[in-house]
Structures are given as structure tokens and as C-alpha cells.
Amino acid sequence: MTWVATGISDPSIAEGSMREVVVAGLPMVVTRVDGALRALSAVCPHLGGDLGDGTLTGRRLECPLHQAVFDVTTGAVLTDAFGVEPPSGDIEPVRTFPVRVNAGVVEVDAPGPGSS
């Protein structure tokens, strides 16, 4: 994986807010929750809903397409699209990525070519 600048300044991400960006060809959501920056795939693993258009409440990010809910700190499924809580249900977790700030700019450790 490789650190890639998102073009987002650290101070521009307020607690509880999120921004959608494309990093290394992957749509991602960058958010600040519990004082820490987080990055996760912006594509819902259920049916490809755009999580950047979702609703963030605390650590909970709800997909706007079918209301699956994910924990932005871990990517874990909290409730699937049918309201089923784990361990039941069959939606995969959303992928998360390491985040850091370099010279005031948010960077994400994104997969390089050939990575999954």
C-alpha cells in the first residue's frame, strides 16, 4: 500500500463530518469520529450504494440505498439492509484504510496497482 494525499486539509474535516474523495482510483469517505480521522470505501458492499451520500451519526454510517449500517471505525456491519444485526445477515464489512496527516493534508494508505 502507498500513502496518497486526498487533497483534504486536516482542519476542514470537523468532528462528525465526512467528505467523499477518490484515492488511487477508489471512491472513499473520509470522516472524523471520536477525534480521529477515518477512511473507508464509499461503496456499500450490499448493492453498491454511495456511502458518501449516507447519514453519519456518531460511528454509524447508514447507506442511503437500503439502510445497511456500518461502523466507520472498523467497517463492521452493525445492521444489514433488512435490519438484521450480526452475527446473522450476509453483508460483508466495508473496507477501511489507515489515515495520517502529513503537512496538514489528510493522506490514506491506499492499495497500489494489483492490490485488492
Cβ partners under 8 Å of residue 71, min gap 6: 59, 60, 61, 78
pTM score of the predicted model: 0.89
Whether 114 shows a pLDDT value over 50: the answer reads: no
Q: In what order do the strands lie in the sheet with 96-97?
A: 18-23, 26-33, 36-41, 96-97
3-state secondary structure of 53: helix
3-state secondary structure of 75: coil
Instruction: Give backbone dihedrals phi and psi of 12, rounded to 5 degrees, phi first.
Output: -80, -10
Q: Please indicate whether residue 85 or residue 107 has the higher confidence score (pLDDT).
A: 107
CB 70 within 8 Å of CB 79: no
pLDDT digits 0-9 by tens, 52-84 = 999 999 999 999 998 999 999 999 999 888 777
Per-residue confidence (pLDDT) for residue 82, from 0 to 100: 78
For domain 2-109, is the CATH number 3.10.310.30?
no
Per-residue confidence (pLDDT) for residue 46, from 0 to 100: 87
Separation between Cα atoms, residue 116 and residue 31, nearest integer Å: 22
Domain boundaries, the chain: 2-109
Per-residue confidence (pLDDT) for residue 38, from 0 to 100: 97
Helical H runs in the chain?
none
